[in-house]
Amino acid sequence: MTGSQPDNAASGQNAHNEKLRALLAPDFETGGNRREIILIPLAAVFMALVIGAVIMMATSVAPATILRSFVAMADGSVGSINAISETLTASIPLVLAGLGIGLAFRAGLFNIGAEGQMVIGGLAAAIASFSITGLPMA
């Protein structure tokens, strides 16, 4: 056993730690400025609304009906505390799936099965909850 083996092991561990840190740390250098961080998602939402309106117009929907549908959509998603609560409830599984996919992509893996994984996870939780006796009732 030579004296350089512990040094090699330590340097290998340090290299592994640096790779892990680089993998999990946010990349602030390519993140863009604050204006881009705000404007890009807003532009995406605006373009989605425009494309939706164009598709509805192409199917002979009246412009007043299109406007009323967009107002109803906004009112139904953020128009009250209950609407905000329901929006957050519906969006949490999507956010968690996105975080899981983002983590896999950040690790260099390709994962397109998030929806199926969530369905199987829910099924497993349901089976476990019905199979285990003596659980408290909610």
Q: What is the mean pLDDT of the chain?
A: 84
Rounded CA-CA distance 86/91 in Å is 9
Terminal C-alpha separation, the chain: 61
Higher pLDDT, 21 or 66: 66
In a domain, 73, yes or no: yes
pLDDT at 11 over 80: no
- Do 102 and 113 have their domain in common? yes
Helix (H) or strand (E) holding 6, with range, is helix 4-24
Range of the domain at 87: 81-138
Decide if 12 is inside a domain. no
Query: 86 and 133: one domain?
Result: yes
Task: Identify the pLDDT of residue 7.
Answer: 58
Q: Are 75 and 82 in contact (CB under 8 A)?
A: no
pLDDT surpasses 90 at 105: no
At 110, which amino acid appears? F
Same domain, 88 and 68: no
Q: How confident is the model at residue 72 (pLDDT cuts 50, 70, 90)?
A: very high
Q: Regarding predicted confidence, which is higher, 129 or 31?
A: 129
Name the least confident of 1-5, 16-20, 81-85, 131-135.
Answer: 1-5
Q: Are residues 42 and 62 in the same domain?
A: yes
